Amino acid sequence: MDLFNRTELRQLAESQDEVCISLYIPTYRNESDWSQNTTRLKNLLRDARNQLREQDFREELIDEILADARSLLDRPGFWRNNIGEGLALFITPDTLETFRLPLTFDEIVVLDDRFHLKPLFPLIAANNRFYLLALSQNDVRLYQGTHQSVNEIESAEIPADIVEAIRQYEDPERQLQSHVQNRAAEGNGQRMDAAFHGHGGDGDDMSGEPQDELKRFFREVNESVDDYISGEEVPLLLAGVAEYLPLYREVNSYPNLIENDIVAGNPESVTVNDLHEEAWSIVKPVFQESEQDELDRFEQLYYQDGDMASDNFHEIVPGCAYSRVDTLFVPIGEHRWGRFDPKTNTVEVHESQEPGDGDLLNYAAVSAYLNGAKVHALRPEKMPGGRSIAATFRYSADVAAEESS
């Protein structure tokens, strides 16, 4: 699976070209169904070709635009290697970005001058995504999960040579011998006595030294994990042998580490589905509590301090663009077609999609997320008071957009 976070979303959101093709397909993970993955991609590429033809692109240029995506049809390893639940492709005349993700999609192709990112809402929503760090006896793996599944992030360069650190941890005598044999010589050429090996200079006290070896390794793991997920407000869970987890906690620097551990023994002996089931049972109540707190806060501000909460579409959209929104609630599966110009702060909203229109709910959610807001993607019936959009603000200001004539 591929890592997808704020950095990747920002790059996609900031892309603009004459042709930006967004393609989403659900994917099968079982070997017996792999052929359906390539069949679906082939069908959607045909749809993309037809859309390009409708916009009067020449066949030669269409071939060039779709060439890299079509090459995936002839790469079996791409489909067999941790494919995930869904595949997202983002195509321009010069680039192809692919993301194998723990999220299934409806089959869709969207051709515009910007990428269509709304199907990714569950990955950017504050109430759905989590990370899982599995500390097994032979390996260390980082996973990204949603309510649907959990998949390993293959691009995460996490130190995995845990075997030697565990040997030192589980065999203090072996660690002592190694420690003695590798002592540097004194200035007079004599080796330092073992009495100085222990903490506090007590040669009989080796407490702490074996676990220091493992903690040293975990510090390297923590630094690598932090490189990938620092700055995110996404829960991180630990899975592994019970005695290792407290050691990792001591060196952890990620502020959103969940207290509950998934103590499943060696994660290598646990199926990915079982890991996901146990992980989701832990993070789901955390998400629900946080979501309810935000909903309650919206209602309180809406009725007690109207300047700090709103359900006014014309106020929320520019609020998302201008970094005013603190928490945004958007409905899943709904659209608001139109255009917003942040330079003039004007908006057009249409009953149905017109040429040049984009989904303003998509625009609001992506803009809010990239500006550091929490985004809750909810089923329409879960929206606060049944509203079509809602937000709390960081500060009071009148930034309501004018209706474009």
Residue keyed to tokens 């303003």: 360
Return contacts of 169-176, CB within 8 angstroms, 24+ apart.
Answer: 169/210, 169/211, 169/213, 169/214, 170/210, 171/210, 172/206, 172/209, 172/210, 175/206, 175/209, 175/210, 175/213, 176/206, 176/209
What is the rounded distance in angstroms from the CA atom of residue 241 to the CA atom of residue 267? Answer: 8
What's the pLDDT score for residue 237? 94
Residue keyed to tokens 């359906």: 36
What's the pLDDT score for residue 389? 96
Write the pLDDT tens digit of every residue in 77-133. 888 766 778 999 999 999 999 999 888 888 999 898 889 888 888 787 777 889 999
Average pLDDT, the chain: 83
Transcribe 259-294 into DSSP letters: S--B--S-GGGS-HHHHHHHHHHHHHHHHHHHHHHH
Mapped onto helix, strand or coil, the DSSP state of residue 185 is: strand
* Strand pairing category for 130-135 and 140-145: antiparallel
Which strand (E) or helix (H) includes residue 196? none
B/e letters for 116-136, b = 16+ CB within 10 Å, e = fewer, are bbbbbbbbbbbbbbbbbbbbb
What's the pLDDT score for residue 83? 76
Domain 130-170+207-283 belongs in CATH node 3.30.420.60: yes
Write the pLDDT tens digit of every residue in 250-282. 999 999 999 877 866 778 788 888 889 999 999
pTM of the model: 0.72
Domain ranges of the chain: 6-124, 130-170+207-283, 305-403
Q: What are phi and psi of 389, to 5 degrees?
A: -165, 150
- The architecture in CATH of the region 305-403 reads 2-Layer Sandwich (3.30)
CATH code of the region 6-124 = 3.30.960.10
What is the rounded distance in angstroms from the CA atom of residue 400 to the CA atom of residue 347? Answer: 10
What is the rounded distance in angstroms from the CA atom of residue 216 to the CA atom of residue 219? Answer: 5
pLDDT at 41 over 90: yes
Give the number of other Cβ atoms within 10 Å of residue 397's Cβ: 13
What's the pLDDT score for residue 103? 86
Write the pLDDT tens digit of every residue in 123-180. 877 778 899 999 887 788 899 888 888 888 876 678 877 766 666 556 555 444 444 4
Q: Which amino acid is at 360?
A: L
Q: What's the pLDDT band for 190 if we cut at 50, 70, 90?
A: very low
